[in-house]
């Protein structure tokens, strides 16, 4: 099960670490990059509740409930990963980002519900933590690929407007890893059939477009209390993460490597080092995930999440005061602690409050509070930067402050299964 998530994170990590680099290479200015990213969160906003609703009402004797969606998303994501570094114009890269994020969401949303389907409540904290471990494995390898390929002599620079070979080949490797891991999961996992097959068949017969729209809208007003409380935490956490993903490359290459020339060797060395920093936070997340169940058992899931988000927020803030590339490493260690908890604790707290027959749907709705802050960031940060005359490093710092706010808001959550 977790091998599939490892594959998904190959694609997700390549997207997060390299998309801004590709946009900059194709001529985007720093303050234009947020609006180019808007495709990714908008896609999640539309896709995940729909996929959750459909997967809740899917059952095939061979394919099960969630696995058809894993496989369909994997095919589309593989195509998008191969196409992304072939982009020659900004509009093309933006369109492929839309396709890539939609495809990743088709695979990823059912995986969240899959853990809830397969594990009893007392094992879900451990289940989501193990899932986080495998997410870290995939993301760590993917984030470091451009630097590894550069070490082995693959060309790391290219003429203006051309994506370097190190990035192109990284995406090709990621496409292979994504598809292979998902295929392994599809072929080697079994799913439990619905407990009440007659009721399930009745609900499936009622399924149509209007019924789906009605249930989706009504479900937004019937969210469990815990879900509403966690929604606010997610808003601040993911707004800060989006600030990091969008602006770290521009902040580091300008403030530490001292250049904005995307065709220069020093810029591409800086962009590769950002990949190393992302490798660090994913590696820390992977290792720390093994200890999360113990810490949550001792201190409670709320306090554990608060501590981790505070560490991540301080890590993001500290980037502003760093003057050498190696001094970035401790900053991203803190971010790794936060990322590990973000991938596990909210879902562990949420899953115990959800009805089993709507697990996929509510996990999809919960994604609203991940993508809405990203949509706001994509649409609003460009104007905010212009009015306040801010640089990318200032937005990364803002992200750190908001992550700490999200941690404090965790204390309001009623964490009871």
399: nearest Cα among 308, 280, 316, 281: 316
Give the confidence band of 124 by pLDDT, cuts at 50, 70, 90: low
Q: Would you say 9 and 139 are in contact if contact means Cβ atoms under 8 Å apart?
A: yes
112: nearest Cα among 36, 195, 26, 8: 8
1: nearest Cα among 103, 108, 92: 108
Classify the phi-psi angles of 391: left when phi > 0, otherwise alpha if psi is within -120 to 50, otherwise beta: beta
Quote the pLDDT of residue 198.
Answer: 66
Directed axis angle between helix 2-25 and helix 90-118, to 10°?
Answer: 160
Q: Which helix (H) or strand (E) holds 259?
A: none
Quote the pLDDT of residue 238.
Answer: 93
- Cα–chain center distance at 404: 19
For the cut 90, the answer to whether the pLDDT of residue 141 exceeds it is no
Can you tell me whether residue 384 is helix, strand or coil?
A: helix
Give the confidence band of 213 by pLDDT, cuts at 50, 70, 90: low
Give the confidence band of 247 by pLDDT, cuts at 50, 70, 90: very high
Quote the pLDDT of residue 365.
Answer: 75
Q: 58-62, 124-128, 184-188, 270-274 — which one is most confidently predicted on average? A: 270-274
Buried b (16+ CB within 10 A) or exposed e, 232-258: bbbbbbbbbbbbbbbbbbbbbbbbbbe
- Rounded CA-CA distance 278/146 in Å is 12
Give the confidence band of 202 by pLDDT, cuts at 50, 70, 90: low
For the cut 90, the answer to whether the pLDDT of residue 256 exceeds it is yes
Quote the pLDDT of residue 121.
Answer: 67
For the cut 80, the answer to whether the pLDDT of residue 30 exceeds it is no
Give the confidence band of 332 by pLDDT, cuts at 50, 70, 90: very high
In angstroms, the first-to-last Cα distance of the chain is 23
Distances (CA, A) of 132 to 157, 328, 348: 33, 23, 12
170: nearest Cα among 181, 160, 182, 178: 178
Tokens of 408: 């404090």
CA dihedral 158, 163, 166, 172 (to 10 degrees): -150
Give me the mean pLDDT over the 131-135 stretch. 77
Q: 1-10, 122-131, 272-281, 368-377 — which one is most confidently predicted on average? A: 272-281
Higher-confidence position of 364 and 305: 305
Quote the pLDDT of residue 132.
Answer: 76
Higher-confidence position of 365 and 407: 407
Q: Would you say 47 and 53 are in contact if contact means Cβ atoms under 8 Å apart?
A: no
Q: Which of 1-15, 331-345, 385-399 has the lowest mean pLDDT?
A: 1-15
Residue 215 burial by Cβ neighbours in a 10 Å radius (0-12, 13-18, 19+) = middle
Give the count of alpha carbons within 13 A of 38, CB side only: 13
Quick: pLDDT tens for 345-359. 998 888 777 776 676
Give the confidence band of 368 by pLDDT, cuts at 50, 70, 90: confident
Quick: pLDDT tens for 147-179. 999 989 999 988 888 999 999 999 999 999 999
Quote the pLDDT of residue 50.
Answer: 73
For the cut 60, the answer to whether the pLDDT of residue 1 exceeds it is no
- pTM, two decimal places: 0.75
């Amino acid at each position: 099960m977790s091998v599939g998530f490892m594959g998904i994170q190959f694609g997700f990590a390549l997207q997060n670490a390299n998309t801004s680099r590709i946009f900059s290479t194709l001529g985007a200015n720093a303050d234009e990059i947020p609006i180019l990213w808007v495709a990714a969160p908008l896609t999640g906003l539309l896709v995940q509740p729909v996929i959750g609703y459909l997967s809740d009402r899917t059952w095939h004797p061979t394919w099960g409930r969630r696995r058809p969606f894993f496989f369909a998303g994997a095919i589309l994501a593989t195509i998008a990963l191969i196409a992304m570094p072939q982009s020659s114009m900004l509009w093309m890269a933006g369109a492929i980002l839309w396709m890539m994020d939609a495809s990743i969401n088709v695979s990823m949303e059912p995986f969240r519900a899959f853990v809830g389907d397969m594990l009893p409540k007392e094992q879900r904290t451990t289940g989501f933590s193990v899932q986080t471990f495998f997410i870290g494995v995939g993301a760590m390898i993917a984030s470091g690929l451009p630097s590894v390929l550069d070490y082995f002599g693959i060309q790391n620079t290219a003429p203006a407007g051309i994506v370097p070979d190190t990035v192109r080949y990284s995406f090709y490797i990621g496409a292979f890893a994504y598809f292979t891991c998902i295929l392994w999961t599809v072929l080697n996992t079994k799913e439990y059939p619905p407990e009440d097959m007659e009721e399930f068949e009745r609900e499936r017969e009622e399924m149509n477009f209007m019924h789906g729209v009605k249930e989706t809208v009504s479900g937004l007003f019937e969210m469990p209390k815990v879900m509403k409380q966690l929604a606010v935490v997610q808003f601040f956490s993911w707004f800060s993460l989006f600030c990091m993903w969008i602006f770290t490359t521009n902040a580091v290459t300008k403030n530490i490597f001292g250049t904005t020339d995307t065709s220069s060797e020093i810029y591409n060395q800086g962009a590769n080092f950002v990949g190393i920093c992302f490798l660090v936070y994913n590696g820390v997340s992977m290792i720390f995930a093994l200890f999360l169940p113990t810490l949550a058992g001792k201190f409670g899931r709320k306090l554990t999440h608060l501590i981790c988000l505070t560490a991540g927020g301080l890590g993001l803030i500290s980037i502003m005061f760093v003057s050498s590339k190696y001094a970035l490493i401790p900053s991203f260690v803190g971010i790794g602690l936060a990322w590990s908890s973000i991938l596990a604790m909210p879902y562990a707290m949420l899953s115990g409050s959800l009805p089993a027959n709507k697990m996929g749907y509510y996990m999809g709705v919960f994604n609203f509070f991940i993508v809405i802050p990203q949509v706001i960031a994509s649409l609003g940060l460009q104007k905010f930067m212009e009015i306040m005359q801010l640089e990318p490093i200032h937005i990364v710092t803002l992200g750190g402050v908001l992550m700490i706010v999200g941690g404090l808001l965790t204390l309001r959550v009623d964490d009871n299964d």
